Amino acid sequence: MSPNELLAIGMIAAFFVLLIIGIPVGIALAFSAFFFGYVGFGPMLFNLLPSRIYGVVTNYTLMAIPLFVFMGVMLEKSRLAEELIDVVGHLFGNISGGMGVAIIFVGVLLGAATGIVGATIVTLGLLTLPTLLRRGYPKTIATGMICASGTLGQIIPPSLVLILLADILQESVGTMFAAAMVPGLTLAAVYMIAILAYAWWKPGSMPPIPVDERRALSRGALLRKVVLVVGPPVGLVVAVLGSIIGGIAAPTEAASMGAVGALLFVALSGRLTLNMLYQVARSTLLISAMVFFILICAQVFGLAFRGLGGEHLVGRMFDLIPGGVTGALLFLMLLIFILGFFLEWIEITYIALPLFLPFFIQAGVDPVWLGILICLNLQTSFLTPPFGWSLFFLKGVAPVGVSTMDIYKGAIPFIGLQFLALALVFVMPGLATWLPAAIGW
């Protein structure tokens, strides 16, 4: 092992040490890369850095990120989730486990409309958890459903994860969105089937909505609410995703259309105020600035790692793993899952993946399939105790009587279901590659 490769290992170790002592991710990335890169090569290593940073801030595809964030935050601030829960809950409320199915269904809609995992879980936790507990749902199952539903925003387009993966994998955003549709909906279907199966296996554990409560809303009134509440956000999402996947509009153009559509939707609902617009703009600025700051710092890290010979080190590491390419893929999935305990998805996407990607591209692995596997894996890590972010989000709004252990126990069955979905995509790559191929991407 050469001295520079030892420096590359030291750089990674230093990055994790800085994270452990509480240094922000972007600063930890940049500091460790500058220090070890300078020790190895001096200032000449970073001559390419200005052009790399310029490439990030002028990337036309990445311009879609703040627009999609604006669309999601605007719809989230409009209290869309409250109305969706009410309407969809009544649609499925006459069957055992119906409220659970409704929560997953709303998670799909909110995942497509907002893609904000934390906001979705907090909203669902506040609105549905007390009701579920009052109706006799077990605490573990109720909390597990809410956490699992909220994380669907990681895989359901237009997920920010998919946009960044498209940039790293050098694939079009439309291709990644199309590839994620079938696995994302398959995962949601697996959740629903499991909930209904549990309700059938244990009668009375997930009772339907009481008859009196269902009769309080007539069929005509329910139909009008479906059209007025579910219709506009679904129509907006279909228009945005359809224009991207169908090749009608570029991701940035479609994202701008989605941002304007969300603004009009909230304005027509009578909820748009100057203060709300300020809060949406502020949240959009903070989220977008955080994303781009980490992307820029990741350029420093990636440049130093490659300059120090890190790619050759990774290649030799994978050569030592038994099982060839399949064994290397399984090792990557395990590594990303473990990293998900400690890092946010954006750091894993822009730090770990670029380090390992050259090996898999050289081995002939389909980058689209690989990207969907990584996305599903990142979603699984959101649920895994003790560090799953979704669990923390729900614990912050859970009513008295719901313990952290209840939330942990509730998440475990859904982690198993997510691993099942990940295994299905692993053994059947067509689940991810069929739709892009069918529409000509």
- pLDDT over 70, % of the chain: 93
Which residue, chain included where needed, has tokens 């506009």?
232
On the question of pLDDT at 189 being above 80, the answer is yes
301 vs 304: CA distance, rounded Å: 5
pLDDT above 80 for 245: no
Q: What percent of the chain has pLDDT over 90?
A: 10
Are 126 and 151 in contact by the 8 Å Cβ rule? The answer is no
CA distances from 232 to 78, 82, 109, 122, 220 (A): 13, 15, 11, 23, 18
For residue 264, what is the DSSP state? H
Q: When comparing pLDDT for 146 and 131, which is higher? A: 146
Flag whether pLDDT at 216 surpasses 70: no
Per-residue confidence (pLDDT) for residue 213, from 0 to 100: 65
How sure is the predictor about 278, in pLDDT bands with cuts at 50, 70 and 90?
very high
Report whether pLDDT(42) > 90: no
Is there a contact between 411 and 405 (Cβ–Cβ < 8 Å)?
no
Q: What is the C-alpha separation between 368 and 165, in angstroms, rounded? A: 9
Mean pLDDT of 235-249: 81
Does the pLDDT at position 423 exceed 70?
A: yes
pLDDT at 344: 67
In this prediction, residue 373 carries a pLDDT of: 92
Is the pLDDT at 425 greater than 90, yes or no? Answer: yes
pLDDT tier for residue 203 given thresholds of 50, 70 and 90: confident
| Predicted local confidence at residue 183, as pLDDT | 93
pLDDT for 217 beyond 70: no
Q: How far is CA 260 from CA 43, 63, 71, 82, 233, in A?
A: 45, 15, 8, 22, 13
The 10s digit of each residue's pLDDT in 146-183 is: 888 888 888 888 887 888 888 888 888 888 989 999 99
pLDDT score of 335: 82
Pick 441 or 246 by higher pLDDT: 246
Q: What was the pLDDT predicted at 54?
A: 84
The reported pLDDT for the residue numbered 235 is: 84
| pLDDT over threshold 70, residue 230 | yes
Exposure on the CB side of residue 219, measured as CA atoms within 13 A: 1
Angstrom distance (rounded) from CA 373 to CA 14: 28
pLDDT of residue 25: 75
In three-state form (DSSP H/G/I as H, E/B as E, the rest C), the secondary structure along 334-357 is: HHHHHHCCCCCHHHHHHHHHHHHH
What gap in Å lies between CA 37 and CA 32, rounded to an integer? 8
Q: Give residue 387's pLDDT.
A: 66
Residue 215: what pLDDT?
A: 67
The pTM of the whole model exceeds 0.75: yes
Mean pLDDT of the chain: 82
Instruction: Give residue 214's pLDDT band: very low, low, confident or very high (50, 70, 90).
Output: low
Q: Could you read off the pLDDT of 301-352 as tens digits, one per residue? A: 878 877 777 767 766 776 777 877 888 888 888 888 877 776 667 777 777 7
**Given this model, what pLDDT does residue 384 score?**
80
**Closest residue by Cα to residue 306 from 375, 344, 371, 355:** 355
Asked if the model's pLDDT at residue 436 lies above 90, the reply is: no
Confidence at residue 440, expressed as pLDDT on a 0 to 100 scale: 63
* Contact (Cβ atoms closer than 8 angstroms) between residue 124 and residue 379: no
